[in-house]
Structure 1
Amino acid sequence: MRKTGSHFFASRSVVAIAALSGPLLAGCSTTGDLGRPRPDILADKIAPAIGDWSARFRGEASSWFHLTDDEEQLRARAWRLVLPAHERSHFDRLHVL
């Protein structure tokens, strides 16, 4: 049986609003430097704790140490290569008349 009248348009509008609100809400998230997400309580504390709990609940191994010491040291050293030498070095070379 086909939906007709206001029920049909109401259900379509709910689907359309849900489909359009997802990308709009994703645009509201704040980003840190180089497009990485800013540190916050949800991503840094709550989500890892829930992931650890759910892995242990399923009987899987879990660890709070995701990188070895060598990998952490490599990331710390390589970060200097990613940073620009000066914050506005590219903009200072431009001459605007």
Structure 2
Amino acid sequence: MGMAGATDDDARSPRLSSPDRLVAAEGGANAPVLFFDVAPVFGMRGGVFSLVLETFVQDISEADAGDSRRLVVAHLRTTAEGIRSLKEAIEKIELMAAPSQGGTN
């Protein structure tokens, strides 16, 4: 059932929702989970922004206690719009993680 006055374009346009009611995009259930410790390499070429995401792993063998090394987990590529969106999301996460100002009531 459609809404009165709604067009096909309305049905296909993305809907904004509050963070309380996030709806996963198609493929969300099968998307990889990326964990990284550092983003040591970044740049831009031809309007495409690039970041290399790395994590620290430890190799353990019977011969020694293990050596820590960095492992590339992803090469992130995006547009200027994508980098702005990522920056905005990171800033919002930082606000969520910051201690609240003022005491409790």
Q: Sort the TM-score into its range (normalised by shorter chain).
A: under 0.3
Higher strand share: 2
> Which structure has the bigger radius of gyration?
1
Give the TM-score normalised by structure 2: 0.25
Q: Which has the higher helix share?
A: 1
TM-score by length of structure 1 reads: 0.26
